[in-house]
Structure 1
Amino acid sequence: MSYQIYSHTLPSATPGTQRIVKAHHFGTPGARPKIYLQAGLHADEWPGFLVLNTLIKKLKIAQEKDLIEGEVIVVPVANPIGLGQNFHGYIPGRFAFSDGGGNFNRNWPKLGDKVARVVNDQISGDIEANVTLVRQAIRHELANLPELTELQGLRKTLLALSMDADEVLDLHCSGEACMHAYVAQEFEDYFRPLLGLLEADVALSELDTGVQSFDETNVSVWRQLKSHYAHLMPWGCRSLTLELRGENDISHELAEKDAEALYQYLIYRGVIEGKTPKIDDSKVTYYPLDAMDLVKAPVAGIACFHKALGEQVEAGEVIGEVVDLMCDDVENSAHPLVARANGVFFARFQRRLVVCGESLAKIAGREHLAFREIGHLFED
């Protein structure tokens, strides 16, 4: 099959408006492995736009040379709704303004119970048949999802493109950060080669964040079924969230580097024909998500950081300060930002004028922190 672009029209939110999601398809529909990539679900996180734009160029060449043995779907702009939130040049893009609001990457539909009811009496000793059965049930349940609103249409569209993929790679970024990723515990070894290619030394590992994010939703059906059927139910989908450094880490050089890493990964997985890359993943380190310290602003004011991203820190160490601009005693107006974990200072807030209580810095530690609650490990 030749390279195809499909435009998916979302329900019209208001008279005279219409938004679309464009999906770039490579390879043969139904061929395996199938890998799905998207960027910009949080519409204020833009590095992935350029990375996937660059990757599409590489995939077009591979398609012309008949090198694609599996199937690849790329959605370079996953959230046109969020991108429409343009206020005098500022695009917040993280939260929906309609349909009850909320984070675009939270509370995605739960399909596990519905799929389980359909397939429970049909699971057999034929593993491949089980996978096919579950994927058919997933497609059926996706078709029944509502799409009355623009946001419902967006979610249904993206899930319909991704949920039968062998792998789902969701591209995000932080305010200012090192390259890192969020990976389910079950997939630590599986995704280590990808992280090695991307030079992501830090990865946060979790079992269930409790937020029903896009990447979790894509694997939740399989996780639920595996808990009942064990070896009879393989992972029909694996997913992760890639954090492509910081919001302003955008350049053709970085996009080329990251797109080439993704392309080499597609070769490694057998999606594209080519020489298998040599991968050094020795620096990839997984840190439990419940051991990640979120350093919060003790007061409102101006934040300054003393430690650089990627540096090791110790619990009790001061990594920066927030200056209280309303303090009468200006000589003592600085309030320290204190690390509560031994680990790597890998991400921080980009904006320097901060609100009291905001999470300003992330430190990847190794030991569970008492104030981190399992099932509530992400903030909005």
Structure 2
Amino acid sequence: MSYQIYSHVLPSASPGTQRVLKAHHFGEAGARPKVYLQAGLHADEWPGFLVLNKLIARLKKAEQAGLIKGEVIIVPVANPIGLAQNFHGYIPGRFAFSDGGGNFNRNWPRLGEKVEKRIKGDVAAETEANVSIVRQAIREELALLPEMTELQGMKKTLLALSMDADEVIDLHCSGEACMHAYVPQEFEDYFKPLLGLLNSTVGLSELETGAASFDETNVSVWRSLKAHYAHLIPWGCRSLTLELRGENDISHEFADQDAQALYDYLIYRDIVQGVVAEPDVSAVNYYPLDAMDLVKAPCAGIVCYHKAIGESVEAGEVIGEVVNLLDDDVEASHYPLVSRANGVFFARVQRRLVMCGESIAKIAGKEHLAHREIGHLFED
């Protein structure tokens, strides 16, 4: 099969409206390995749009040259619903305005128990046969998911495109940040080459966040089954969330650099024919997600940072301050932001006007923090 673009029409949310997901397909359908990439699930996070635009251009040339060995599916704009939420020129694309609201990257369907019931009695000694059995069960369960609303249709479509992939790469970004990734604990070594190619030095290692995010949903079926069947069912999908720096880190230079890194990774995984040097992973460090400090604003006001993104910090160190604009004593109106972790200051909100109690900065540490609760590691 040559390069194809498929348009997936979502259920109409209101009379006269219709949104579409476009999926770019490269290679033969069903070829392995299969990789799925998407951008903009949080519709206010835009660097991935340009990166995938440039990756598609590279893959089109590779397809024409007959270099695609596996299958690649790219959805460059994963959330047209969120992109349409234009409020006086501002696109608040992290949370849905309709369908009950909520974070677009939370509470995705978890199919592990249902798939396990379907395959019970069919698991054999042949591991690759078991992978096929599980993938068929996943397809059958996906077909039963509701699609009455626009959001349900979007989720069902994205999962149908991704859940039988060997790898799922979900592109996001932070407010202001260095390149980093959220990586399931089981895949730390596996994804090190990708982080190395992207010059990312920070990986957040996660096991069970409680968020039921898109990338977790794609891997959760296999994690659930392996807990019962161990080696009989190998990993049929590996996934991660890539955070492409900050919201405003968008340029042809960054996008070309990141698209080339992703293309080189596809060569490394033998999905695209070519030669690439062994990635340098010496600078890649993983930090447990439960050791990540979310620094909260002690009051409402203007935040000023003393430390730069990417700098090392120590527990007890002041990384900035919030100025309370309504304090009567202006000389005593500066409230410190104190790190509770030894690690790297890797992300912060872009706004400088912050609300009391809001999480405004992230520090990746190595040691578990008592206030970080396993299973509830994301607050938004």
TM > 0.5 between the two? yes
Q: Give runs of aligned pairs for residues 80-119 of structure 1, distance below 5 A.
A: 80-119=80-119
1:317 lines up with 2:317 in the alignment: yes
SS in 2 for 1:44: coil
Partner amino acid, structure 2, of 1:291: A
Q: Secondary structure at the match of 2:262?
A: helix
Distance 2:89 2:372 in 1: 36
CA RMSD of aligned residues (A): 0.5
Distance 1:265 1:110 in 2: 29
| 8 A contact 1:67–1:273 mirrored in 2 | yes
CA distance in 2, matches of 1:76, 1:186: 27
Structure 1 segment 47-86 matched on structure 2, within 5 A? 47-86=47-86
Question: Structure 2 CA distance, aligned partners of 1:94 and 1:71?
Answer: 30
Show CA shifts across 1:210-254 (max 9, x none): 110000000111111111111110000000000000000000000
Q: Determine whether 1:293 maps to 2:273.
A: no
- Mapped to 1, the partners of 2:319 and 2:310 lie a distance apart of 12
For 1:160-193, what per-residue CA distance to the aligned partner results, in whole angstroms no more than 9, with x for missing partners? 0000000000000000000000001000000000
Is 1:190 the counterpart of 2:190? The answer is yes
Sequence identity (%): 77
Match of 1:134 in 2: 134
CA distance in 2, matches of 1:110, 1:367: 30
SS at the partner of 1:137? helix
SS at 2:121 equivalent: helix
2:376 matched to which residue of 1? Answer: 376
Aligned partners of 1:82 and 1:182: how far apart in 2? Answer: 22
1:328-339 matches, cutoff 5 A: 328-339=328-339
User: What is the letter of the counterpart of residue 212 of structure 1?
Assistant: A
For the residues of structure 2 that align with 1:276 and 1:311, how far apart are their CA atoms?
31
**Kept in 2: contact 1:267–1:277 (CA 8 A):** no
Q: Aligned letter for 1:379?
A: E
Amino acid at match of 1:79: N
Inter-partner Cα distance in structure 1 for 2:47 and 2:294? 23
Distance in 1 (alpha carbons) for counterparts of 2:96 and 2:197: 34
Equivalent residue, structure 1, for 2:252:
252
Deviation at 1:278, TM superposition (A): 2.5
Instruction: Give the residue type in structure 2 aligned to 1:266.
Output: L
Which ranges of structure 1 fall in alignment gaps of 5 or more residues? Answer: none
Displacement of 1:276: 3.0
Contact 1:177 1:246 in 2 (8 A): yes
1:150, CA displacement in angstroms?
A: 0.2
- Look up the equivalent residue of 2:76 and give its one-letter code: P
Report the equivalent of 1:363. Answer: 363
TM-score, structure 1 length as denominator? 0.99
Q: Secondary structure at the match of 1:351?
A: coil
Structural mapping, 1:91-240, within 5 Å: 91-240=91-240
Partner amino acid for 1:166? Answer: D
Aligned residue number for residue 9 of structure 1: 9
What is the distance in 2 between the residues matched to 1:29 and 1:5?
Answer: 13
Count of residues in Structure 1 that have an aligned counterpart in Structure 2: 380
Structure 2: unaligned runs, 5 residues or longer:
none
Letter of the aligned partner of 2:55 in structure 1? L
Check conservation: 1:12, 1:150, Cα contact below 8 A. Answer: yes
The CA distance in 1 between the partners of 2:258 and 2:17, in whole Å, is: 35
Question: What secondary structure does 1:121 align onto?
Answer: coil
CA–CA distance in structure 2, aligned partners of residues 319 and 111 of structure 1: 42
Distance, in Å, in 2 between the alignment partners of 1:64 and 1:206 is 39
Alpha-carbon shift at residue 112 of structure 1 (Å): 0.7
Q: CA separation in 2, counterparts of 1:187 and 1:120?
A: 26
Alpha-carbon shift at residue 77 of structure 1 (Å):
0.3
Q: Which amino acid aligns with 2:308?
A: A
